Amino acid sequence: MLALKELLGSKLKFSLIALAIGLVVSLTMVTSAMSEGLLTGMSGAKSSLAADALVFQRDTYPTLERSILTANDLKVIAATPGVMSVYGVGHTFATVGSAEEPFDVRILGLGDRFDQLPIVEGTGEPGPGEAVVDVTAKLQGVELGDTLTLTPVNAELTVVGFTEDRRYVMVPALFVSLSTWEDLHVASVLGRVEDEGGADAEAGARMAREFAGSASIAAIELEDGVSIADVEREFDGSYALATPADSARAGNGMPEMILAVGGIQVVSIVIGALLVGVFFYITTLHKTSQVAAVKAIGASNAHLYRELIIQITILVTVATVFGTALAIAAGAGMPPMMAFDPDPVRWATSVLAIFGTAYLGSLFSLRSILRIDPATALGRTEP
């Protein structure tokens, strides 16, 4: 009764408190979501590959950029006991030179597994010379049906669909068929050679033959009951193996970035939670004479603790809902290039930390009040 009455009786005061806590919740959530979004932007195209594991060329793990698997490698991997299915994933660099302002992209060839892409516009089945593009490319003016001219490979791709959350190293990924990737990859290498004045048609033709049926890495799905370690043993060091999530968190400066981002998240949660804890400690301490008076007329300590817990629970719950809504609204208002990827686990962690310190701060404060001399707590002054 008292807890609710006090909340309703001092609406402005408690609304401001809820606003302050809500902003703290919002801050921790936005910080966390933007940090996660940064990681998604760095490696979303790799971490979201539909596979139990990714197989890399030996000694290149986890570098997608350096790995190359021949057609024979893919056959060997497919024939490995415990491997249920395999599809190749190719990677190469390019620049979209036809845009008003040229921008970098990463080209990813997918072997017959385009069903894994979440399509937000157009189709998800690119034919030869066609691409499904990450939606962030729209910020560069790319539209459905556009023909993109890639440099230095001097090739053209028609945009047939848009997907989302598929960036790699912060630039949009272009998904093409594996055969289109082969052409682009060879052209990319030859283009560089040509630029350096060493074009060799015969070498180019040989390279095209060598790359036929190849991929940068292989994405595999395992049979039931088979672990990655089992397949790794079967490979016996011939290939490197990792889950998509693990491989996404390695290379391209990702370990350092993850440490930095993790540090930002921890610091924001700790500071936010401490602020709320100290805040509740002080606001509860301000009620010293009121608590002492209610105690003096017969309230038990248990009753006072219960009322305080009810009040904190209501207040922090309202603040959390408000803060979460605010953070989600902020995220929705951000442009696609500003990565915002709320993580429920981190959100729950920050909310739990805030609840925890709110309880600790206020209960510790009440404990202090209940320990002092009642006459002092009542603020009695001798006339």
Partner 1 sequence: MLEVRNITKSYGEGRTRVTALDNVSFTLGKGKLLAILGPSGSGKTTLVSIIAGLLGPTSGEIVIGGHAVHLRTASQAARFRREKVGLVFQDHHLVPYLTAMENLLLVPHLSGRVTRTHRELADTLLADFGLTARAAHKPSLLSGGERQRVAIARALMNAPEIMLVDEPTSSLDTERGLQVVELLKAQVHERAMTCLMVTHDPRMAAHADESLTLIDGRATR
Q: Smallest distance from the beta carbon of 293 to partner 1, in angstroms? A: 4
For 333, phi then psi, to 5°, come to -85, -5
Q: Smallest distance from the beta carbon of 368 to partner 1, in angstroms? A: 16
Measured from the CB atom, the residue of 302 and 332 that comes closer to partner 1 is 302
What distance lies between CA 234 and its chain's CA centroid? 33
Residue 23 found at the interface with partner 1 (CB under 8 A): no
Measured on CA atoms in the order 204, 206, 208, 214, is the torsion positive or negative? negative
Measured from the CB atom, the residue of 96 and 292 that comes closer to partner 1 is 292
Q: Is 143 left (phi over 0), alpha (psi -120 to 50) or beta?
A: beta
Q: Smallest distance from the beta carbon of 1 to partner 1, in angstroms? A: 6
Q: Smallest distance from the beta carbon of 308 to partner 1, in angstroms? A: 14
d(CA 21, CA 315): 9
Q: Smallest distance from the beta carbon of 361 to partner 1, in angstroms? A: 21
Choose one: 2-10, 116-124, 237-245, 255-263; the region binding partner 1 (CB under 8 A).
Answer: 2-10
Subset of 321-380 contacting partner 1 (CB under 8 A) = 373-375, 378-380
Q: Beta strand pairing status for 83-96 and 103-110? A: antiparallel
Residue 303 found at the interface with partner 1 (CB under 8 A): yes
Subset of 281-300 contacting partner 1 (CB under 8 A) = 289-290, 292-300
Measured from the CB atom, the residue of 101 and 373 that comes closer to partner 1 is 373
Binding-residue pattern over the window 85 to 124 for partner 1, x denoting contact by CB under 8 A = ----------------------------------------
Place of tokens 């009951």: 225
Measured from the CB atom, the residue of 229 and 381 that comes closer to partner 1 is 381
Contact in structure between 43 and 348 (CB atoms under 8 Å): no
Measured from the CB atom, the residue of 236 and 300 that comes closer to partner 1 is 300
d(CA 142, CA 135): 9
Question: Beta-carbon neighbour count of residue 375 at 10 Å?
Answer: 12
Q: Smallest distance from the beta carbon of 290 to partner 1, in angstroms? A: 7
Q: Which of 302, 335, 344, 345 binds partner 1 (CB under 8 A)?
A: 302
Measured from the CB atom, the residue of 9 and 356 that comes closer to partner 1 is 9
Residue 6 found at the interface with partner 1 (CB under 8 A): yes
Binding-residue pattern over the window 24 to 63 for partner 1, x denoting contact by CB under 8 A = ----------------------------------------
Measured from the CB atom, the residue of 5 and 206 that comes closer to partner 1 is 5
Contact in structure between 327 and 244 (CB atoms under 8 Å): no
Measured from the CB atom, the residue of 2 and 120 that comes closer to partner 1 is 2
d(CA 214, CA 76): 12
Contacts of 30 (CB under 8 A, 6+ apart): 327, 330, 331, 340
Half-sphere exposure of 345 (CA within 13 A, CB side): 1
Residue 10 found at the interface with partner 1 (CB under 8 A): yes
Say how many residues touch partner 1, by CB under 8 A.
Answer: 30
SS (H, E, C) 318-349: HHHHHHHHHHHHHHHCCCCCCCCCCCHHHHHH
**DSSP conformation letters of 62-91:** T-TTT--B-HHHHHHHHHSTTEEEEEEEEE
Half-sphere exposure of 367 (CA within 13 A, CB side): 6
Residues interacting with partner 1, by CB under 8 A? 1-2, 5-6, 8-10, 289-290, 292-303, 373-375, 378-383
